[in-house]
Amino acid sequence: MKIAIIGTGYVGLVTGTCLAETGNQVTCVDINEQKVTMMQQGQLPIYEPGLELLFHRNIIQERLFFTNNLASAIENAQIIFLALPTPPGENGSADLSYVLGAAKDIALLITSYKVIVTKSTVPVGTADKVSAVFEQYTDVEVAVVSNPEFLREGVAVEDFMKPDRIVVGTTDERARRLMSELYAPYVRQGNPVIFMDERSSELTKYAANSFLATKISFMNEIANLCELVGANVDMVRLGIGSDDRIGKRFLFPGIGYGGSCFPKDVQALARSAEDNQYDFKILNSVMEVNAIQRKVFVEKLKKYYGGNIEGKVFALWGLAFKPETDDIREAPALYVIDELLKGGAKIVAYDPEAINNVKYLIGVKISYADDHYEALQGADALLILTEWSTFRTPDFDLMETLLKHKVIFDGRNLYDLDKMIDRGFYYNSIGRQVVNQSEKKTA
Ligand SMILES: NC(=O)C1=CN([C@@H]2O[C@H](COP(=O)(O)OP(=O)(O)OC[C@H]3O[C@@H](n4cnc5c(N)ncnc54)[C@H](O)[C@@H]3O)[C@@H](O)[C@H]2O)C=CC1
Ligand SMILES: O=C(O)[C@H]1O[C@H](OP(=O)(O)OP(=O)(O)OC[C@H]2O[C@@H](n3ccc(=O)[nH]c3=O)[C@H](O)[C@@H]2O)[C@H](O)[C@@H](O)[C@@H]1O
């Protein structure tokens, strides 16, 4: 099939590459000329595990193309995917200007039937708005389909190639046939392509993200309670997760969810409920808990130093909002950095992939290390903010020689409490007892 993808961010580029992988002819369009030039030269603008191999293979085999010329990209395309940003707009509702603007541009160019697919996360009623744009600017027939994306950054290729499910919202029979054909190679193991109306499909996406965010905020509250009552959240997590009705996944407490989606999507759904005179109480609490969680982490740190962190040197392990990505959008690490700097502390940060994005964003206000051990040199404490696998089994002997004090604040619960007791580290994690309180004297 001939496909056009408008927008080559995390979603558009993964979608385009993975659709080319099953034999489709895919042209990706972006307004960012620098990005397009990079991709035309065979360079990936993002870090996403497993993407590089597929990206190069499909470029070499001439199934994957990049351009900033919308007209040439959509001319022969049967299906046009909109993978454009939907950032928080006024009052937190989704800003549809990218999506509706692109719809208008496309409407002014097309000369034959097209299936227009909204891959971006968009509020209920957007398919109708997009259809209205086409009705206004062209007489050519189109079917506007909602096809939300459920991939996770860091495992995006795997998620796209083997999705748990594919949701397609359409009432147009021709579009339904084309979408079934397009996705058939991805559901050969039997996972469903679930067809529904456009509105239900649009809401499904927000409901999924909001439910997952709710799970995380719930566990963060359980973790906070664990600290007060002397329970261990890891044990509670295992205890409840083995119940199939609850499930083992997405029960990890931490310093709050970040990323480009959960924060904006929970907010957008709450806003959308409000617009419909519905007070979505749970969502408001989910957001409140999430905002508090990163503050709790910084407060614990400050309390340890008697409220004064001025001149302290902190080694930060992890800057990305989650491991296996270079994405720092809404990363809790950015909040922590900001608060530490406000308190007069010094920071030496390390992240395997996100360091350049942080350098670009905040520059020389903090120092950067070339590896995680280098960051520890002379630091008063180590702060773990992203659970990269390279941090999981570090050389503790080496850490002891590098750190000025054996103090770790772990926002991701990477280490075993007994091990830290044996090692004599002051170890403060989430929802578990604080280990080796006596070490505090050394700080
Ligand atoms: N990042 C993720 O993991 C997921 C994102 N989504 C949703 O997918 C949508 C896109 O998200 P991302 O890929 O993260 O965004 P992104 O910000 O990484 O990429 C968007 C791309 O669109 C380009 N663009 C903007 N205006 C354009 C135009 N008029 N024509 C062509 N290109 C244009 C930008 O230059 C950029 O490269 C959002 O609605 C998001 O909520 C859904 C599932 C997962
Ligand atoms: O709409 C989107 O953009 C995507 O949002 C999330 O994917 P993503 O943001 O890439 O990453 P997640 O793995 O979901 O993690 C999000 C945040 O939650 C945090 N998290 C996750 C799981 C957990 O148990 N605890 C926890 O604190 C992570 O650290 C991270 O900050 C969803 O998982 C995807 O299904 C969805 O497509």
Residue closest by Cα to atom 7 of ligand 2: 152
Do 181 and 262 reside in the same domain of the chain? no
Q: Looking up tokens 């080559």, which residue turns up? A: 8
Which amino acid does the sequence have at 438?
A: S
**Cα distance from N-terminal residue to C-terminal residue, the chain:** 64
pLDDT at 91: 87
For the CA of 102, the nearest atom of ligand 1 = 29
User: With bands split at pLDDT 50, 70 and 90, how would you rate the model's confidence at 386?
Assistant: very high
Candidates 260, 262, 357: which one to mutate for ligand 1, based on the most atoms within 8 Å of Cβ? 260
Domain boundary among 175, 196, 217: 196
> How many angstroms is it from 260 CA to the middle of ligand 2?
9
User: With bands split at pLDDT 50, 70 and 90, how would you rate the model's confidence at 439?
Assistant: low
Task: State the total domains in the chain.
Answer: 2
| CB 263 less than 6 A from any atom of ligand 2 | no
pLDDT at 440: 57
Summarize pLDDT for 348-365 with one digit per residue, the tens.
Answer: 999 999 999 999 999 999
Do 337 and 363 reside in the same domain of the chain? yes
- What's the rounded mean pLDDT across residues 194-214? 98
pLDDT at 92: 86
226 is an active site residue: no
Residue closest by Cα to atom 31 of ligand 1: 30
What are the strands of the beta sheet with 166-169, ordered from one edge?
A: 64-67, 25-29, 2-6, 79-82, 114-118, 142-146, 166-169, 193-196
Do 156 and 259 reside in the same domain of the chain? no
Q: Which ligand is nearest to the CA of 324?
A: 2
Which amino acid does the sequence have at 346?
A: K
In this structure, are residues 268 and 92 in contact, taking their beta carbons and an 8 Å threshold? yes
> How many angstroms is it from 323 CA to the middle of ligand 2?
10
For residue 65, what are the β-bridge partners? 27
Predicted TM-score (pTM) of this structure: 0.96
What the block records as the tokens of 62 is 């001439």
pLDDT score of 76 more than 70: yes
> What's the mean per-residue pLDDT of the chain?
97
In this structure, are residues 83 and 9 in contact, taking their beta carbons and an 8 Å threshold? yes
Triad 247, 239, 261: Cα angle to 5°:
40
Do 211 and 354 reside in the same domain of the chain? yes
pLDDT at 384: 98
Gap between the Cα atoms of 55 and 231, Å rounded: 47
| CB 289 less than 6 A from any atom of ligand 2 | no
> How many angstroms is it from 339 CA to the middle of ligand 2?
24
pLDDT score of 441 more than 90: no
Do 249 and 236 reside in the same domain of the chain? yes
| Alpha carbons within 13 A on the beta-carbon side of 151 | 26
User: Buried b / exposed e across 349-370, counting CB within 10 Å, b at 16+?
Assistant: bbbbbbbebbeeebeeebebbe
pLDDT at 170: 98
Do 308 and 419 reside in the same domain of the chain? yes
Do 285 and 172 reside in the same domain of the chain? no
- What's the rounded mean pLDDT across residues 252-274? 96
Q: Which ligand is nearest to the CA of 218?
A: 2
Summarize pLDDT for 78-119 with one digit per residue, the tens.
Answer: 999 999 999 998 788 899 999 999 999 999 999 999 999 999
> How many angstroms is it from 26 CA to the middle of ligand 1?
17
Residue closest by Cα to atom 14 of ligand 2: 152
pLDDT score of 436 more than 80: yes
* Domain that includes residue 181, residue range: 2-196
Closest CA to 120 of 209, 49, 58: 209
Do 306 and 170 reside in the same domain of the chain? no
User: The CATH number of the domain where 397 resides is what?
Assistant: 3.40.50.720
Do 49 and 183 reside in the same domain of the chain? yes
pLDDT score of 164 more than 90: yes
| CB 163 less than 6 A from any atom of ligand 1 | no
pLDDT at 79: 98
Asked whether the ipTM of the predicted complex exceeds the cut of 0.95, the reply is: yes
Domain boundary among 178, 196, 214: 196
pLDDT score of 292 more than 90: yes
pLDDT score of 443 more than 80: no
Residue closest by Cα to atom 6 of ligand 2: 152
Summarize pLDDT for 2-46 with one digit per residue, the tens.
Answer: 999 999 999 999 999 999 999 999 999 999 999 999 999 999 999
Domain boundary among 180, 196, 212: 196
User: With bands split at pLDDT 50, 70 and 90, how would you rate the model's confidence at 367?
Assistant: very high
- What's the rounded mean pLDDT across residues 139-158? 98
Do 285 and 426 reside in the same domain of the chain? yes
Do 167 and 223 reside in the same domain of the chain? no
Do 114 and 207 reside in the same domain of the chain? no
